[in-house]
């Protein structure tokens, strides 16, 4: 079987929140699956917080050192409890915002791991955008709870776009571990892009099965929900798909702005590439 380049270095940022341990468990399970290194970067809270008020031009400085110290302690405890037994895990700290750290470090990681977003705005969303658009590689979204398996039954959301093609190429190390893939597509099996995908997977001796997907006249978010439901119906433990920006002209199955819906609602790992 032809071998794809391996994923040897994974990157995840944590912030001292209650979700750190859960995110790290999923990231570590992926690192074990790939026999990869896991770089864990704690993005430290500032010891001083600056706030400005409308009635004054002078900033008001609040001492944030106690909360910053507590967050650092929580983050390190989560790392020690989850990653202590994995020799490929490494810890570091930065004063950068998560998005800035990902933009700097992401290009030298084979995969940036992000926890599933709980909201579409704020620092987490900024970090996701940095990973997808500035990281120069694929992004892996962890599920809300670690699954017992990873990439034993992968599903590819396919529309023939550049983004979907890059996602498939990026996912090859995981697809090869699975030894197969199911393709969800609105295109006919005889279409040129589906044939091209089959030829690509055949080069790696990876059999694929094709399942039709149609969401009719649903809204973008409705179509995203339909895609997730279809993947869950196949018992997928990995969804591979193109990642599309809010202003992108192309769209997965015509979903338009659905990428954010996918990464806030998926109950399985999602690997995206922009």
Overall average pLDDT of the 68-96 stretch: 96
> pLDDT higher for 259 or 75?
75
Per cent of the chain over pLDDT 90 is: 62
d(CA 85, CA 81): 9
pLDDT tens figures, 83-121: 999 999 999 999 998 989 999 999 999 999 998 877 666
Asked whether residue 3 carries a pLDDT value surpassing 80, the answer given is no
d(CA 105, CA 98): 10
> pLDDT higher for 190 or 184?
184
* Nearest partner of 114 among 210, 247, 20, 227, judged by Cα: 20
**Helix or strand or coil: residue 174?**
helix
Mean pLDDT of the chain: 87
The first and second tokens of residue 202, run together, are: 């055949």
pLDDT tens figures, 117-137: 776 666 677 788 888 887 778
Asked whether residue 252 carries a pLDDT value surpassing 70, the answer given is no
| Model pLDDT, residue 121 | 65
d(CA 197, CA 184): 12
Tokens 């790992």 belong to residue: 269
Give burial (CB, 10 Å; 0-12/13-18/19+) of 250.
middle
* Nearest partner of 274 among 248, 238, 236, judged by Cα: 248
Asked whether residue 248 carries a pLDDT value surpassing 60, the answer given is no
- Alpha-helical segments (H) within 9-161: 20-34, 65-83, 98-105, 123-129
pLDDT tens figures, 29-55: 999 999 999 999 999 988 877 666 656
Give burial (CB, 10 Å; 0-12/13-18/19+) of 272.
buried
| The total number of residues written for the chain in this structure | 274
| Model pLDDT, residue 254 | 39
| Model pLDDT, residue 8 | 96
> pLDDT higher for 57 or 250?
57
| Model pLDDT, residue 253 | 47
| H/E element, 35 | none
| H/E element, 176 | helix 162-178
* Residue 39: how many other CB atoms lie within 10 Å: 22
pLDDT tens figures, 203-241: 999 999 999 887 767 777 788 888 999 999 999 999 999
Q: Which of 16-20, 67-71, 251-255, 262-266 has the lowest mean pLDDT?
A: 251-255
Overall average pLDDT of the 8-16 stretch: 96
Going by their DSSP bridges, the two strands 111-115 and 139-142 should be labelled as: parallel
């Amino acid at each position: 079987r032809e071998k794809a380049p391996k994923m040897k270095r994974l990157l995840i940022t944590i912030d001292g929140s209650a979700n750190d341990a859960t995110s790290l468990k999923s990231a570590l399970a992926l690192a074990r699956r790939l026999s990869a290194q896991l770089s864990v970067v704690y993005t430290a809270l500032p010891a001083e917080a600056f706030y400005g008020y409308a009635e004054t031009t002078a900033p008001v400085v609040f001492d944030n050192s106690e909360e910053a110290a507590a967050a650092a302690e929580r983050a390190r405890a989560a790392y020690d409890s989850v990653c202590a037994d994995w020799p490929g895990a490494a810890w570091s700290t930065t004063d950068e915002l998560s998005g800035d750290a990902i933009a700097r470090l992401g290009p030298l990681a084979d995969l940036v791991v992000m926890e599933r977003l709980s909201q579409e705005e704020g620092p987490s969303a900024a970090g996701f955008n940095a990973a997808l658009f500035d990281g120069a590689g694929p992004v892996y979204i962890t599920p809300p709870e670690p699954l017992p398996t990873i990439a034993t039954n992968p599903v590819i959301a396919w529309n023939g776009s550049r983004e979907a093609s890059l996602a498939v190429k990026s996912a090859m190390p995981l697809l090869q571990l699975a030894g197969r893939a199911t393709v969800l597509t609105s295109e006919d099996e005889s279409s040129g892009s589906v044939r091209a995908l089959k030829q690509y997977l055949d080069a790696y001796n990876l059999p694929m099965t094709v399942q039709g997907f149609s969401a009719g006249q649903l809204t973008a978010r409705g179509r995203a929900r339909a895609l997730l439901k279809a993947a869950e119906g196949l018992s997928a433990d990995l969804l591979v798909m193109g990642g599309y920006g809010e202003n992108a002209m192309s769209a997965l199955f015509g979903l338009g702005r659905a990428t954010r819906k996918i990464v806030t609602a998926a109950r399985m790992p999602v690997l995206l590439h922009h």
